[in-house]
Structure 1
Amino acid sequence: MRSSLHALAVAACAMALAACGGDDPAPTPAPQPQPQNPDASTDPCEPNGHIHREPTGDWCHCNKGYRATVEGLACEPDPDYVPSEGFSFGDNGEHACWHVTNGPFVTVTASTTRNPRVDDFHTYYTVKLRPEGGQYVGTFSYKAFATGNFVVYLGDPSIPITLVENSIQKTVEPAGTRATDNHCDALKHMVGYELTDRVQYTLTIGPTPVPELGMVIEHLP
């Protein structure tokens, strides 16, 4: 009888040890963070440019003196780049003044719901601004369809304009400003910019006490 009780006790201890386990169970691995897509978090065109992500494909907008590589998304020194000495205004407004008389003519009206386009070459725009804070302002959409020197021709140097590259929300500084030659009374001031093909910009005019103005924007060959 005593031996039977001893055997039962040994068996019970064995079952208890089996239930508890002699070794600690392996810890459950902690979830690892998923790596982010490097193309979405980094700019492969830096430091000599920045990327434009568009439905038709990504491309590098390279800084002056650089060009996009053929192999992929990167900017490399442009061996054909020749630094310019100052900004050239071409014929100093003669051709733009021709459009003041001969057109084509387009009227655009500033709005708070959309930015009207003003990116047609060889066009005389009548720009109607909207009242704001006792003066007049307007924002307009401009897409450069070439790379090079562009000139905004206005009737008065006191009219403030600002150009912003949309993709990076960066103000494009004028490459030069000056008065036109005496070709017409409607266009007396020029603001020069160095712009890039396919890039979308926003042009802001004002604030100004002038509710309406004439404007031509040209790409200089």
Structure 2
Amino acid sequence: MRWKLRALLATLALATSACGGDDPPPEPKPEPSGDPCEPHGHIHREPEGDWCHCNKGYLAAQDGLACVADPNYVPSEGFDFGDDGEHACWHVESGPFVTVTASTTRDPRVDDFHTYYTVKLREVDGQYTGTFSYKAFASGNFVVYLSTPDVPVTLVETAVQKTVAPAGTKATGDFCSGLKHMVGYELTDRVQYTLTLGPASLSELGMVIEHLQ
């Protein structure tokens, strides 16, 4: 009887060995990681599909998921402020007019086309500041026109929390008293930005944001 038990155990051992025994199951292959748009851009993952936001001098490949050199790119010398604020000054007198108030619970939008904004900032530690939402509706040169040069301006690409460096700053032309300062940026269509004004000594200022065409 004992030899039958030994034979049974040997048979089970052989079967277990054939099936892999206690060897761990093969590990699944890792999912692709990293950003396919790097090093010349970064990925935007959105419900309607992923796309590459490419750096200056590069454009999205045909499949949209890589940044390649733009063969037609010509480096610019300085930032072109266009008419130096003449058109923006027209909106100071003619509107349309919108008032926005900074809040701690939301970032009010300031991306209406051709609009003069009265911006009310909130007090923080004896000074005034405010954060607002701006979505570019085209790619190219944009200018933030302000009623005073005494207010710091910070622009951040919201999705990746990357600060966008100004492409230039300049006083406006002598077209109106309502706008005195320009800050130029190179922005990208469909990208959401966060605009912060301040801290400053002023609680209210005028602002127009225009796309230079």
TM-score normalised by the chain length of structure 1: 0.88
Note if 1:13 corresponds to 2:2: yes
Note if 1:125 corresponds to 2:89: no
Structure 1 residues 35 and 112: alpha-carbon distance in aligned structure 2, compared to 1, 3 A threshold? farther
User: Given the alignment, which residue of 80, 91, 98 partners 1:88?
Assistant: 80
Q: Where has structure 1 moved over 6 Å in runs of 4 or more?
A: none
* DSSP-derived class of the 2:4 partner: helix
Unaligned runs of 5+ in 2: none
Structure number with bigger Rg: 1
Shift of 1:152: 0.4
Structure 1 residues 28 and 204: alpha-carbon distance in aligned structure 2, compared to 1, 3 A threshold? same
Where do residues 59-138 of structure 1 align in structure 2 (5 Å cutoff)?
Answer: 59-138=51-130
The CA distance in 2 between the partners of 1:141 and 1:71, in whole Å, is: 30
> For 1:196-221, what per-residue CA distance to the aligned partner results, in whole angstroms no more than 9, with x for missing partners?
00000000111112111100000001
1:197 is matched with 189
Conserved 8 A contact 2:143-2:183: yes
Q: How many pairs were matched up? A: 208
2:159 is matched with 167
Conserved 8 A contact 2:154-2:163: yes
The CA distance in 2 between the partners of 1:45 and 1:188, in whole Å, is: 39
User: Given the alignment, which residue of 206, 210, 213 partners 1:218?
Assistant: 210
TM-score normalised by the chain length of structure 2: 0.92
Shift of 1:101: 0.5
The CA distance in 1 between the partners of 2:207 and 2:98, in whole Å, is: 10
Unaligned runs of 5+ in 1: 1-11
The CA distance in 1 between the partners of 2:97 and 2:90, in whole Å, is: 12
Shift of 1:19: 5.0
Structure 1 residues 59 and 213: alpha-carbon distance in aligned structure 2, compared to 1, 3 A threshold? same
